[in-house]
Amino acid sequence: MTDAAALPGQPRGAVVSGPATARTVNVLAPNPSAMTLDGTNTWIVAEPDSDLAVVIDPGPLDDVHLRAVIEAVERSGRRVGLTLLTHGHPDHAEGAGRFAELTGTKVRALDAALRLGDEGLGAGDVITTGGLELRVVPTPGHTADSLSFHLPADRAVLTGDTILGRGTTVVAHPDGRLGDYLDSLRRLRSLTVDDGVHTVLPGHGPVLEDAQGAVEFYLAHRASRLAQVETAVEAGHRTPSDVVAAVYADVDRSLWPAAELSVRAQLEYLTEHGLIQG
């Protein structure tokens, strides 16, 4: 879910299905929109010599797409061994139940309501299906249940909606919280610094080859937006809709409802930190 313009230097064209790293393949869902960019990226992750694959974010409830994902797995000589969710928004998770039915797999997620099977996901968990090492990284903020998945062998991280391939994500108030989101961005930055992650495999948009640059841009963008919101409030713009009109005047009006969610999260953050009066 995007609320801003493209990242500097990043592709603006359509995302295509296909290999992204040695262990990952993207199957693009046919659900493009202002909020989903080119559509949802459904990721197939597998060790090169394994007969099992992990599917991350089956996407919307669209049988044609779900079967296309299965066919992509089968063409590689594999079968689906596990389904994972980065978070519960319908464009990522609505098709998970049907996908599990088609593949006979369990669905693991942070939110218990989204799971099919006994096992959830949490900090420190490592997915080892088919010999993978896929580390679970809690990245709340966009939503409370947002997760990322670190793939050390490819020096990559699958970020769901926490970092997008184009634009910046909505902090979806009230479920999403800006303080949590900023902490999550710093957590991802530590992966780029301490663990050598250089590739972002996002939930929407193109693959990013400069993970650290993307994280730094996101942090700078959030700091800039916060300053703009604080200035707008000081200028007398008190309601979220008034702040959106002042701060997001250069953003397509079709995205203003999403921007208002982020503004509400920003106002909450500024109030909690004593920077504006509630």
Confidence category of residue 105, pLDDT binned at 50, 70, 90: very high
pLDDT at 4 over 80: no
pLDDT at 143 over 90: yes
Percent of the chain at pLDDT above 90?
Answer: 87
Per residue in 31-88, pLDDT tens? 999 889 999 999 999 999 999 999 999 999 999 999 999 999 999 999 999 999 999 9
164: left (phi over 0), alpha (psi -120 to 50) or beta: beta
pLDDT of residue 6: 45
Contact predicate 50/41, CB 8 Å: no
Percent of the chain at pLDDT above 70?
Answer: 95
Q: Is the peptide bond before 19 cis (omega within 30 degrees of 0)?
A: no
Give CA–CA dist 95/30, Å, rounded.
13
Give CA–CA dist 268/273, Å, rounded.
9
In 3-state terms, the chain is what percent helix, strand and coil (to 5)?
35, 20, 45
pLDDT of residue 15: 74
Per residue in 165-188, pLDDT tens? 999 999 989 999 999 999 999 999
pLDDT at 138 over 80: yes
Write down the pTM of the prediction: 0.92
Q: Which domains does the chain have, with CATH numbers?
A: 18-211 (3.60.15.10)
Mean residue pLDDT across the chain: 93
Residue 238 C-beta-side C-alpha neighbours within 13 Å = 3
Strands 79-84 and 107-108: parallel
pLDDT at 12 over 50: no
* Mean pLDDT to the nearest integer, 219-233: 95
pLDDT at 14 over 70: no
The distance in angstroms from the start CA to the end CA of the chain is 27
pLDDT at 224 over 70: yes
* Mean pLDDT to the nearest integer, 257-268: 93
User: Of 59, 72, 66, 67, whose CA–CA distance to 32 is shortest?
Assistant: 59
Confidence category of residue 278, pLDDT binned at 50, 70, 90: low
23: helix, strand or coil: coil
80: tokens are 């689906």
More confident residue, 4 or 146: 146
